[in-house]
Structure 1
């Protein structure tokens, strides 16, 4: 029986951990979670997102701009995130409307697709 989602993983290029931490921990404000000692040598880093984890792995040879795969972060104030990202020169991509939600997408500095979504309480 599947009990729930334990974690999700995205990847960034090898040797980009510091830039990744600046974006995800600095700009988005997600706290870093310490990786187990046994996994520290594999590169990347882990984040805490609510009661779940997002693992940022490191791999080369992958074109992140060619995939629809993404993470969607549930937010309380989507206008704040839109404005903050635009002020940091992140291009906003309008998503297909979903009744009861406001949302938009963008690409992180590594090409990963990211969605911000707010429940408008009508679903």
Structure 2
């Protein structure tokens, strides 16, 4: 092959039609992502885009909507303890998971029921 994969550009997560404000409340106000303006040609589709550092999350609208309860993005975090304390302060529930050797990780559900993993590799 003459090509190489570099990184994932973004992850799209589904939300029900009209879910943009709930997405803003969760991803921006609670998780601290910044909203990114969508290109004009894509605005008509609805949804909202977010970015924190090199992590890009696009919220797309689906009708009918079904949350992704198993499939999920995994976001690598530096100082996951600080993130846990922040989530405790803003009232976001999460579930710790110690089944991945070498990782401190947990899962949270966005306001639509989509699963999101946050993890920090302990020896990196």
TM-score greater than 0.5 by the shorter chain:
yes
Residue of structure 2 equivalent to 1:23: 26
CA distance in 1, matches of 2:93, 2:55: 27
Residue of structure 1 equivalent to 2:9: 6
How many Å apart are 1:21 and its aligned residue? 0.6
CA distance in 1, matches of 2:78, 2:42: 33
* Gap change, CA 1:117 and 1:30, over 3 Å in 2: same
Contact 2:67 2:112 in 1 (8 A): yes
> Unpaired runs of 5+ in structure 2?
none
How many Å apart are 1:85 and its aligned residue? 2.2
How many Å apart are 1:43 and its aligned residue? 0.5
CA distance in 2, matches of 1:84, 1:34: 26
Match of 1:36 among 23, 32, 39: 39
> Unpaired runs of 5+ in structure 1?
none
CA distance in 2, matches of 1:33, 1:72: 20
Answering whether residue 63 of structure 2 is matched by residue 46 of structure 1, we say no
Answering whether residue 121 of structure 2 is matched by residue 119 of structure 1, we say yes
Equivalenced residue count is 121
CA distance in 1, matches of 2:103, 2:117: 12
Contact 2:16 2:63 in 1 (8 A): yes
TM-score (norm 1): 0.85
